[in-house]
Amino acid sequence: MQLYQKEMLNIFIEKLERLISQNKPFILFRKPNSEVVELWENKETKTERKFICNSFDNSQLIEFNDDNVIEIPVSDLPFFKLDLPVSSQKEAIEYDDYINLIQKTVDELKSNSLTKKIVISRVKELEKEDVNLSETFKSLHEYYPNAYVYLRYDLEEGSWIGASPELLFKEKNQLIQTVSLAGTKAKEDDWTEKEYHEQQVVTDYISSIFESYSEYVDVEGPFSVNAGFFEHLKSFITAQIKDKSKIKDLLFDLHPTPAVCGMPKNDAKNFIVENEGYYRSFYAGFMGYDNGEESEYFVNLRCAKIFSNKVNLYVGGGIMPDSVPENEWRETEMKSKTIGELLV
Ligand SMILES: C=C(O[C@H]1C=CC=C(C(=O)O)[C@@H]1O)C(=O)O
* Mean pLDDT of all residues belonging to the chain: 95
Q: Which residue's C-alpha comes closest to atom 8 of ligand 1? A: 182
Q: Do 305 and 158 touch, CB atoms closer than 8 A?
A: yes
Q: State how beta strands 158-164 and 303-306 pair.
A: antiparallel
Name the pLDDT band for 271 (thresholds 50, 70, 90). Answer: very high
263 in a structural domain? no
Mean pLDDT on 258-279 = 97
From the CA of 335, how far away is ligand 1's center (Å)? 8
Q: What is the atom index within ligand 1 of the atom nearest the CA of 299?
A: 5
Please indicate, yes or no, if residue 198 is contained in any of the structural domains: no
How many A from CA of 187 to the centre of ligand 1? 16
Q: Measure 111 CA to ligand 1 centroid, in angstroms.
A: 24
Mean pLDDT of the 254-283 span: 98
Q: Look at residue 4 in the predicted model and tell me its pLDDT.
A: 65
Measured in Å, residue 183 CA sits from the centre of ligand 1 at 7
99 pLDDT more than 80: yes
Domain harbouring 50, CATH code: 3.60.120.10
Question: Is residue 109 within 8 Å of residue 328, measured between CB atoms?
Answer: no
Q: Are residues 18 and 245 in contact, defined by beta-carbon separation less than 8 angstroms?
A: no
Give the per-residue pLDDT at 6: 80
Residue 150 lies in a domain: yes
Residue nearest to atom 6 of ligand 1 (CA): 182
Q: pLDDT at position 155, please?
A: 87
Q: Give the model confidence (pLDDT) of 208-246 as tens digits.
A: 999 999 989 999 999 999 998 999 999 999 999 999 999
3 state SS of 54: strand
Instruction: Look at residue 329 in the predicted model and tell me its pLDDT.
Output: 98
CA of residue 44 to ligand 1 center, whole Å: 36
The mean pLDDT of 68-90, rounded to a whole number, is 94
b/e 66-84 (16+ beta carbons within 10 angstroms → b): beebbbbebeebeebebeb
Q: Give me the amino acid identity at 310.
A: K
36 falls within a domain: yes
8 Å CB contact between 49 and 289: yes
Dump pLDDT digits (tens) for 116-138. Answer: 999 999 999 999 999 999 999 99
Query: Coil, strand, or helix at residue 253?
Result: helix
Is 217 among the domain residues?
no
Give the per-residue pLDDT at 194: 95
pLDDT beyond 60 at 1: no
> How far does the centroid of ligand 1 lie from the alpha carbon of residue 169, in Å?
16
Task: Give the pLDDT band (50/70/90) at residue 5.
Answer: confident
Per-residue confidence band for 295, with pLDDT thresholds at 50, 70 and 90: very high
pLDDT digits (tens, 9 = 90+) for 168-205: 999 999 999 999 999 999 999 999 999 999 999 999 99
Number of domains present in the structure of the chain = 1
Answer whether residue 255 is part of any domain. no
Q: Is the pLDDT of residue 2 over 60?
A: no
Residue 279 domain flag: yes
Nearest-atom index, ligand 1, CA of 181: 6
Q: Residues lining ligand 1, judged by CB closer than 6 Å? A: 119, 121, 166, 181-184, 232, 259-260, 301-302, 315-318, 335
Taking the centre of ligand 1 as the mean of its atom positions, its distance from the CA of residue 317, in whole angstroms, is 5
Residue to substitute in 166, 260, 263 for testing ligand 1 pocket (most ligand atoms within 8 angstroms of CB) = 260
Residue of 121, 160, 168, 184 with the most ligand 1 atoms within 8 Å of its CB, for mutation: 184
Residue 316 CA, closest ligand 1 atom number: 16
Report the pLDDT value the prediction gives residue 156, as an integer from 0 to 100.
85
> Smallest Cα–Cα separation from 74: which of 38, 40, 41?
38
Inside any domain, residue 241: no
Range of the domain at 301: 1-167+271-344
The amino acid occupying position 219 is V
Q: What is the mean pLDDT of residues 242-259?
A: 95
With pLDDT > 70 as the criterion, what percentage of the chain qualifies? Answer: 99
